[in-house]
Structure 1
Amino acid sequence: MNFKFTHNNINVLDLEKSLNFYQKALDLVEVKRYQEPTGAFILIYLGDGNTSHTLELTWLRDRTEPYDLGENEFHLALTVDDFQKAHEHHEKMGCICYENQEMGIYFINDPDGYWIEILPED
């Protein structure tokens, strides 16, 4: 057997706000969309243009309450070729939620409160 990662999923409350955030913060773009025929939900897959791995955003029409992320002990992680420039960009956006300078990493959070780790390329 040969397993391969394909995507990660997160549920979002405001689809347009999330799409704008992921495009502006991480340059992720829509690569696939599925809209359930009755409009009950929409799945949008975002890609980085470099790998086949995608982030699936799930929007549920009838959801009105923010998602309970518990202790938020999970996160996505992305590397970036210009760490300092990315940090400055995210600082201007006001989305840095945690920094660990000793480890050389920081985290941003999306509109729903999910954390995303930013690491320099090796």
Structure 2
Amino acid sequence: MKFKFAHNNINVLDLNKSIQFYEKALGLTETRRIEPEDGSFIIVYLGDKETSHLLELTWLSDWDHPYDLGDNEFHLAFVTDDYNAAYKKHKEMGCICYENPAMGIYFINDPDGYWLEVIPAK
């Protein structure tokens, strides 16, 4: 029996704002979406055009307040082929929330406060 990653899910408060952030900050684009007739939720899958792994954004129509992220120890990590350009872009966007120069990494946060680690290619 074998398993492989399919996607990670995060719930978002403002779907359009989140889609725009992930496209601008990380180059992710929508690959598909699920919208039931009752309008109770929308699921949007974002991909990087490099791997088969997807980020699933879920918007719930009856959710009207920020999500409780607890201690926010959960994060997704992204490898970049141009760390310096990525850092500059994220600095200009004002979304860098933590830097660890000793490890050569930094984190950005999305509109809902989720942390995303940025790692240079080895």
Counterpart check, 1:63 vs 2:63: yes
List alignment gaps of at least 5 residues for structure 2.
none
Letter in 2 for 1:67: Y
Q: What is aligned with 2:41?
A: 41
How far apart are residue 36 of structure 1 and its match?
Answer: 1.5
Question: What amino acid maps onto 1:45 in structure 2?
Answer: Y
- Tell me the distance in 1 between the aligned counterparts of 2:65 and 2:96: 24
| TM-score, length of structure 1 as denominator length | 0.99
Equivalenced residues, count: 122
Residue-by-residue CA offset, 1:65-110 (whole Å, 9 max, x unaligned)? 1000000011000000000000000000000000000000000000
Unaligned 5+ segments in structure 1 are none
Looking at structure 2, the residues matched to 81 and 70 of structure 1 have their Cα atoms a distance apart, in angstroms, of 31
Alignment of 1:1-122 (within 5 A): 1-122=1-122
Q: TM-score, normalised by structure 2?
A: 0.99
Q: In structure 1, the residue corresponding to 2:51 is in which secondary structure?
A: coil
Shift of residue 29 of structure 1? 0.1
After TM superposition, give the deviation of residue 37 of structure 1 in Å: 1.5
- Distance between the aligned counterparts of 1:103 and 1:50, measured in 2? 25
